[in-house]
């Protein structure tokens, strides 16, 4: 399954690492002990998630360019040049998202993504204009993907300021964790236990768990105040697509893996963008 998945699957796998590593508000009994930990506000978390979304979108465009460069048909190879402006826009938007981060420590961590994204973009541009994949593309992509994963995982060591969510917000947060837990579990097994090694997944179990969480999330989103409802509903819809695509990816044959991974990664970028909007709305209330 994984031999020909190439760059898009590597980046898709990296996309799942943040799901279980979001900061949480500690119980009151632990708050004093957590004073020395790095702290994020909800606004900080929204800005960091926006960086996640921009990085994911750049990764999708980059892997599309790589696929076009390697295509057999001339018309498909020509598409690589057409995608370069979109890559430039995505890189600029990532840089702007990083510059918007107000938390100095978090911004320091995020700034590494800008330099690595620039390197990856330069390698891609060189491959397009020389009509062949440059030797540095794989290394640049790998470093960027690893940095994206580390940046998202770093939030697991932070403490989230503010009271724990209540009511519909709490229900949405719980359903979100369930949806992301199902996603992460499948992606982890996809990474280490491809089907040809004899490790069969249970897609029915994944669909059931994910479907129940999606239903809970949809119901919670409908009960939110209007200022939060739209972004929350967009997030749930996108995360529902994430679960659908990850189920397909886990069962994809070798020839279908790249397309399934591309669909997953695109859905994940949409989910992160909507989640950033939702967190921004929560912070602004």
| pLDDT tens for the 285 residues of the chain, in order | 333 455 555 555 555 545 555 665 544 443 443 344 588 999 999 999 999 999 999 999 998 998 888 887 888 888 899 999 999 999 999 999 999 999 999 999 999 999 999 999 999 998 888 766 556 888 899 999 999 999 998 888 899 887 788 999 999 999 999 999 888 877 765 554 444 444 455 556 667 888 899 999 999 999 999 999 999 999 999 999 999 998 888 888 888 888 888 899 999 999 999 999 999 999 998
CB of 134 closer than 8 Å to CB of 123: yes
Distance (Å, rounded) from C-alpha 53 to C-alpha 47?
A: 10
Token pair recorded at residue 33? 């002990």
Token pair recorded at residue 230? 């739209």
pLDDT at site 89: 97
The three-state secondary structure class of 276 is helix
Q: Which of 179, 120, 115, 192 is nearest to 151 (CA)?
A: 115
CB of 94 closer than 8 Å to CB of 113: yes
Q: Which residue in this structure is represented by tokens 């891609």?
A: 124
> pTM of the entire structure?
0.84
Domain boundaries, the chain: 6-26+37-284
Token pair recorded at residue 278? 């939702």
Q: Which residues contact 154 (CB under 8 A, 6 or more apart)?
A: 21, 109
- Report the interhelical angle of 257-284 vs 6-15 (nearest 10°): 30
pLDDT at site 205: 65
- Enumerate long-range contacts of 161-168, CB under 8 Å, 24 or more apart: 161/25, 161/39, 161/40, 161/41, 161/42, 162/25, 162/41, 162/42, 163/25, 164/24, 164/25, 165/282, 167/223, 168/220, 168/221, 168/223, 168/224
CB of 201 closer than 8 Å to CB of 220: no
């Amino acid at each position: 399954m994984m031999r020909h998945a190439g760059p898009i699957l590597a980046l898709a796998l990296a996309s799942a690492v943040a799901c279980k590593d979001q900061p949480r508000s500690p119980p009151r009994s632990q708050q004093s002990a957590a004073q020395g930990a790095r702290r994020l506000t909800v606004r900080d978390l929204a800005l960091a998630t926006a960086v996640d979304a921009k990085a994911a979108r750049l990764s999708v465009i980059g892997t599309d360019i790589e696929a076009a460069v390697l295509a057999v048909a001339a018309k498909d190879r020509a598409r690589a040049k057409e995608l370069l402006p979109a890559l430039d826009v995505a890189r600029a938007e990532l840089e702007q998202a990083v510059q918007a981060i107000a938390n100095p420590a978090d911004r320091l961590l995020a700034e590494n993504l800008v330099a690595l994204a620039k390197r990856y973009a330069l390698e891609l541009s060189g491959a397009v204009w020389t009509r062949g994949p440059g030797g540095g593309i794989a290394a640049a992509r790998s470093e960027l993907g690893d940095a994206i994963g580390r940046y998202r995982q770093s939030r697991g060591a932070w403490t989230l300021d503010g009271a724990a969510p209540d009511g519909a917000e709490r229900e949405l947060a719980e359903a979100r964790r369930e949806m992301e837990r199902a996603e992460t579990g499948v992606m982890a097994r996809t990474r280490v236990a491809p089907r040809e090694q004899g490790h069969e997944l249970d897609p029915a179990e994944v669909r059931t768990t994910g479907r129940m969480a999606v239903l809970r999330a949809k119901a919670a989103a409908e009960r939110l105040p209007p200022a939060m409802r739209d972004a929350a509903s967009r997030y749930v819809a996108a995360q529902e697509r994430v679960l659908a695509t990850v189920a397909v990816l886990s069962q994809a044959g070798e020839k279908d893996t790249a397309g399934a991974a591309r669909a997953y990664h695109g859905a994940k970028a949409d989910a992160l963008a909507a989640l950033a909007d939702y967190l921004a709305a929560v912070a602004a209330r």
